[in-house]
C-alpha cells in the first residue's frame, strides 16, 4: 500500500512521477548495460553477437521487475540483482559479457543522469510556461498603480506590473541556471571500480565515449567509483532555488489576499471548490499555501545533498539510501509547485479599486519622500527638509488628520511650497519614477532571451 503522498499521486504530474517509477529506473539501467556492451563490441572487446543479444534482452519486456526483486531479496544487492536477471535470460555466450568490466555505479550514476535529463526537460517546460504567464501579467498591469511596501508598511508607489517584472527576471535567471546545470550534470561514468578504467582494459576511454554517446550523455569530469556529488548537490540546489522563488511569489499572493488588503486573490478551480469546512464564504489561498508548505520540505533536501559531497576515499555508501528519497522527491515536489504557481497566476484575480483604496489609507503620508525632495529643490537642506516633513507626518498620525492638512499647517513648508505644488506632490500616479521604463526593459530583455 502507498505510504508517502507522492506514491498516491497527490503531488506532481503523472509524467514526472513516471520518470522515477521503479520500472522506468530499471529500463534506464538496462539501457546503460546495453550501451556498454555495444561500445565493447565496437572496439573489439566482446563479440558483436553477444552485444546484440544483450541489446535485445536489455528491456523490461524480458527483465522483469518482480524477478529482480526476488534476486535482490536473496543477495541483498539491487544492482547485482538486475545484472543476474539480465544474465539468466541472455542466450549463447552473451551471458558471459553482461556487466563486463563494470562496477555498480557506472550503471547507477549514468542511469540517474538519464532520469535527470528527462526531469529537467519538464522543469524547463514549466518554467517557460511560468515566464509566459508573467510576460502577459507584466504587460497587462504595467500601469496598475499600487502601494509599495517595506517592513509590511506603505513605503512608496509602484505598479503591479513592476512587481511581476521582478518575478519575471527571477524566472529568467532560473532558466539560465538550468542551461548551465545541464552542461555539468547530464554526464555519465563508465570507468569501473575506483574510476581508473582498469577493469575495462586499455580501450576504457573509447568504451566510455561510445557508450555515453549511445545514451546521449557526456563523460563526467574526473570521477572515482562514482560521479562526484557536488554535481548532484548543484542539481538539488537549483531545484531548491526555484522552490524558494515560488515560495516568495506564493507568499506575496497570500499576503495581498488578506481580507484587509485584498489586492490579489488566487482563483478557485471551479464553482464547487470549498474554501473552508466551517465558513462557506471563505476563499482561502490554499494552492499558494501548499506551495509555501512544500518549499519548506524542498529546502530540507539540500542538507543531505551537501552531506553527500564528502565520502570516504574513492566512495562509500552513505549517499545511496538518502538519494533514493531526495532525487525523486525533489523533482516531483518542484513539479507540483511549478504547476500550482502557473494555475494561480494564470487565473489570478486583481482588484485595482482596492489598490487605490489602500493607497489612501495613509492619507497622503506615503508621499512624504516626494515632499522632502521638493523642499530640497526649493533650497531647503535635505536633513532639515526631512525633519520638517517627519514632524508633520507624526502630527498627522497622532491627530488622525490627512497629510495635506499637516503640510499646510506648517509655516516653513507653505513658505516654500504653493498649494498646487503640495497637491502635485501628493499625486500618486505621477510618482512612479522610471518604474514603467524598467518594466519595459524587463519585457524587452526577456523576449530577446526567448529568441536566442
Is the Cβ–Cβ distance between 6 and 328 less than 8 Å?
yes
**CA pair distance 25, 145, nearest whole angstrom:** 51
Closest CA to 153 of 349, 358, 354: 358
3-state secondary structure 121-158: HHHHHHHHHHHHHHHHHHHHCCCCEEEEEECCEEEEEE
What are the strands, taking DSSP E only, across 164-247? 187-188, 218-219
3-state secondary structure 193-224: HHHCCHHHCCCHHHHHHHHHHHHCCEECCCCC
Interstrand relation of 145-150 and 153-159 (parallel, antiparallel or unpaired): antiparallel
Considering all CA atoms of the chain, what is the largest pairwise distance in Å, rounded to the nearest integer? 104
Cell (9 digits) for 81: 540483482
Cell (9 digits) for 210: 561510445
**CA pair distance 250, 339, nearest whole angstrom:** 12
* Cα of 291 vs its chain's centroid, Å: 11
Interstrand relation of 218-219 and 187-188 (parallel, antiparallel or unpaired): parallel
Residue with cell 519595459: 440
Cell (9 digits) for 14: 503523472
Number of helices (H) and strands (E) in the chain: give both, helices first: 19, 6
The dihedral of CA 424, 425, 431, 433: what is its sign? positive
Q: Which residues 6+ apart lie within 8 Å of 182 measured at CB?
A: 117, 120
Residue with cell 523576449: 447
Residue with cell 543522469: 113
Residue with cell 532525487: 327
Residue with cell 500618486: 428
Cell (9 digits) for 372: 522632502
265 three-class SS:
strand
Q: How far is CA 243 from each of CA 51, 253, 382, rounded to the nearest angstrom?
A: 43, 15, 43
By annotation, the residues acting in catalysis are 151, 276
Cell (9 digits) for 312: 570516504
Amino acid at each position: 500500500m502507498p505510504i508517502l503522498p507522492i506514491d498516491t499521486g497527490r503531488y506532481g504530474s503523472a509524467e514526472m512521477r513516471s520518470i522515477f517509477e521503479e520500472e522506468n529506473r530499471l529500463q534506464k539501467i538496462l539501457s546503460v548495460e546495453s550501451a556498454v556492451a555495444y561500445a565493447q563490441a565496437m572496439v573489439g572487446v566482446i563479440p558483436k553477437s553477444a552485444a546484440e543479444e544483450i541489446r535485445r534482452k536489455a528491456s523490461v519486456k524480458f527483465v522483469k521487475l518482480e524477478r529482480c526483486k526476488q534476486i535482490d531479496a536473496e543477495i541483498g544487492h539491487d544492482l547485482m540483482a538486475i545484472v543476474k536477471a539480465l544474465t539468466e535470460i541472455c542466450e549463447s555466450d552473451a551471458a558471459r559479457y553482461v556487466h563486463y568490466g563494470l562496477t555498480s555505479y557506472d550503471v547507477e550514476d549514468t542511469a540517474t543522469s538519464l532520469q535527470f535529463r528527462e526531469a529537467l526537460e519538464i522543469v524547463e517546460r514549466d518554467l517557460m510556461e511560468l515566464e509566459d504567464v508573467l510576460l502577459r501579467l507584466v504587460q497587462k498591469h504595467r500601469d496598475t498603480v499600487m502601494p509599495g511596501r517595506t517592513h509590511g508598511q506603505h513605503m512608496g508607489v509602484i505598479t503591479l506590473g513592476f512587481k511581476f517584472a521582478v518575478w519575471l527576471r527571477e524566472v529568467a535567471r532560473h532558466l539560465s541556471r538550468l542551461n548551465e546545470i545541464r552542461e555539468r550534470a547530464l554526464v555519465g561514468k563508465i570507468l569501473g571500480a575506483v574510476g581508473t578504467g582498469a577493469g575495462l582494459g586499455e580501450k576504457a576511454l573509447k568504451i566510455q565515449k561510445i557508450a555515453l554517446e549511445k545514451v546521449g550523455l557526456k563523460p563526467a569530469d574526473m570521477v572515482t567509483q562514482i560521479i562526484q556529488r557536488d554535481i548532484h548537490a548543484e542539481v538539488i540546489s537549483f531545484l531548491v532555488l526555484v522552490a524558494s522563488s515560488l515560495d516568495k511569489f506564493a507568499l506575496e499572493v497570500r499576503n495581498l489576499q488578506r481580507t484587509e488588503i485584498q489586492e490579489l486573490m488566487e482563483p478557485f478551480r471551479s464553482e464547487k471548490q470549498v474554501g473552508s469546512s466551517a465558513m462557506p464564504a471563505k476563499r482561502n489561498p490554499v494552492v499558494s499555501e501548499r506551495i509555501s508548505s512544500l518549499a519548506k520540505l524542498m529546502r530540507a533536501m539540500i542538507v543531505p545533498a551537501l552531506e553527500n559531497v564528502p565520502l570516504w576515499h574513492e566512495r562509500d555508501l552513505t549517499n545511496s539510501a538518502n538519494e533514493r528519497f531526495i532525487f525523486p522527491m525533489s523533482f516531483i515536489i518542484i513539479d507540483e509547485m511549478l504547476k500550482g504557481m502557473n494555475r494561480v497566476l494564470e487565473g489570478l484575480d486583481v482588484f485595482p479599486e482596492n489598490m487605490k483604496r489602500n493607497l489612501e489609507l495613509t492619507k497622503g503620508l506615503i508621499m512624504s519622500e516626494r515632499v522632502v525632495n521638493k523642499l530640497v529643490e526649493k533650497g531647503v537642506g535635505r536633513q532639515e527638509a526631512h525633519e520638517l516633513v517627519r514632524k508633520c507626518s507624526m502630527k498627522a498620525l497622532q491627530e488622525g488628520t490627512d497629510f495635506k492638512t499637516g503640510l499646510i499647517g506648517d509655516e516653513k513648508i507653505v513658505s516654500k511650497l504653493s498649494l498646487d505644488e503640495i497637491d502635485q506632490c501628493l499625486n500618486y500616479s505621477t510618482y512612479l519614477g522610471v518604474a514603467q521604463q524598467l518594466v519595459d526593459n524587463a519585457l524587452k530583455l526577456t523576449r530577446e532571451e526567448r529568441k536566442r
